[in-house]
Structure 1
Amino acid sequence: MPAGGGRRGDRHARPLVEPIPDEPAATADLGGETALLLADYHAGIEAGLRYERGVELDSAGDERRDRVLDLLVRTDADRLVVLGDLGHRIGGAGDAETAELDALLSAVGVPVTLAVGNHDPGLADEFGDRLTVTPPGGARVGDVGIVHGHTWPAPEVLGADVICMGHEHPAVRLEDAVGGGRAEKAWLRGALDRAAFADAVDLAGVDWRDPELIVFPAFNDRSGGTWVNVDGQGFLAPFLPDGFASAEAYLLDGTRLGDYRRV
């Protein structure tokens, strides 16, 4: 998959956002720092599934934490950025979620920034000494905008060169020659349409740079997903799909699938 956007005015500059092959995560140049970016960690999801759906699953919290630690080592990242839904329980952190996040934040060894998501209420109060938490509309760090996607992005986010978000858990349905199907996690990438934001966001002071939007696949393997190429599977963000001037889907291994609507 192509990396996301070089620095403005220099097409030969190092890309700002580079997906990690075969992983639902990327590195980003935040201007002086290299960050590991991932979305939709959903700590404590097993407790949520038990309460919400009566599904009994052993916790995969240790495995999730180990995956993050491995990626931090592999990328030599200076910071971990979570694009929302670090937690899972919408009504506030429960015991299982708190224990998993305490273990994760104690182990990462780098500063952590959370672009707060709809599943993250209370995390700023619970872990504020170990997290930098953005407002709901996200934030801009260097030339990269970070936002969860459950609300409209802040104007400063829309002034970035590349905008990274989660929330959607995008996946594609793929069929084989005999009609069998499977779902695969996917990235969505495309240019934003300024007109789609004009009525909801004050763009008067925004230096619009024709930003690329990158929608991250969910890091958590148990959080489900939206099949973006299946009729009836709507987007969750208030600015999608209208906010995309165009967008393509890519598998985790970098395979380009083309226009996500025609996969």
Structure 2
Amino acid sequence: MAPGASPVVEPVVGEPAAAADLGGERALLVADVHAGIEVGLRYERGVELDARADERRERLCALIAETDADRLVVLGDLAHRIAAPDGDERDELVELIRAVTDRVPMTLVEGNHDGGVAEAFADDLDVIGAGGGVLGGTVGVLHGHTWPDPGLLDADVVCMGHEHPQVRLEDSVGGSRAERAWLRGELDPGAFVEDGGNEGDGSDPPELVVFPAFNERSGGTWVNVDGQSFLAPFLPDALPAGDAYLLDGTRLGDFRRV
């Protein structure tokens, strides 16, 4: 995506997903699937939307095939509702997890919506705790809702979700639209670790990649709008010079100046 960016993690053009080289394994990475979001919006806001469970499942399976992935890694918030999944949401999760694991193993990095999911589907998923972990010795993964494990600083690149980054783009006649975006740049170790704890040796800090939400209905943080607060406790400080990219690969430059 970015000139000179590490080839270890490469976005799939046009999709909120990336392929990652984990040494002996190739993985498809996505964040914030929010399965069952329509159920959640019905209860939370009284909003009725057509269900897209089949579409989400089919897109994930198609991307696994397209990228020739050996594993699917979900960077948190596989489910939408924070409580233990039930009803239509659980049905969607059962079908989605079955469809994926019939093809490849599935790893869930636990997000703030996933406590009930990790427990309910423990036999079907490999689960990494909220502090994150390092896959293949090179790719750090976390959701981003809490302070990370300092060991992620030993990775070449750190991938996270939670933020659902979007940019607001304006046209020549004053109209505007929101577009999902990637954020990518060198990570500041001192801002990434709680209280500036173990910051690694500081000689070659990893790249940080903030993933767009896989689910287009899940909203997000407009990173180029004044007054928007980031959700992760270490952002935006841990990304002092990050660039924004659209899903089609268009580089927008410093996300603060888009």
TM-score band, normalised by shorter chain: over 0.9
Counterpart position of 1:134? 128
Q: Which of 221, 225, 233 matches 1:230?
A: 225
Between 1:91-100 and 1:114-123, the stretch displaced more is: 91-100
Structure 2: any 5+ residue segments left out of the alignment? none
Counterpart position of 1:193? 188
For the residue of structure 2 that corresponds to 1:195, the secondary structure is helix
Counterpart position of 1:175? 170
- Cα deviation for residue 197 of structure 1 reads 3.6
RMSD: 1.5
Superposed CA deviations along residues 59-85 of structure 1, whole A, max 9, x for unmatched, are 100000000011011111000000000
Q: How high is the TM-score relative to the length of structure 1?
A: 0.93
For the residue of structure 2 that corresponds to 1:200, the secondary structure is helix
Q: Is 1:120 aligned with 2:114?
A: yes
Counterpart position of 2:212? 217
For the residue of structure 2 that corresponds to 1:81, the secondary structure is strand
Q: Distance in 2 between matches of 1:44 and 1:253?
A: 27
Q: Is 1:55 aligned with 2:47?
A: yes
Q: Distance in 2 between matches of 1:260 and 1:216?
A: 14
Aligned 8 A contact 2:183 2:245 in 1? yes
- Cα deviation for residue 140 of structure 1 reads 0.4
- Cα deviation for residue 203 of structure 1 reads 1.1
Superposed CA deviations along residues 183-208 of structure 1, whole A, max 9, x for unmatched, are 0010000111122145536416x355
- Identical aligned pairs, as a percentage? 65
Matches within 5 A, 1:51-90: 51-90=43-82
Q: Is 1:111 aligned with 2:105?
A: yes
Counterpart position of 2:157? 162
Counterpart position of 1:10? none
For the residue of structure 1 that corresponds to 2:169, the secondary structure is strand
CA 115–201 in structure 1, closer or farther in 2 if over 3 Å, else same: farther
Q: How high is the TM-score relative to the length of structure 2?
A: 0.95
- Cα deviation for residue 92 of structure 1 reads 2.0
Counterpart position of 1:2? 2
Counterpart position of 2:238? 243
Between 1:91-100 and 1:229-238, the stretch displaced more is: 91-100
Structure 1: any 5+ residue segments left out of the alignment? 7-14
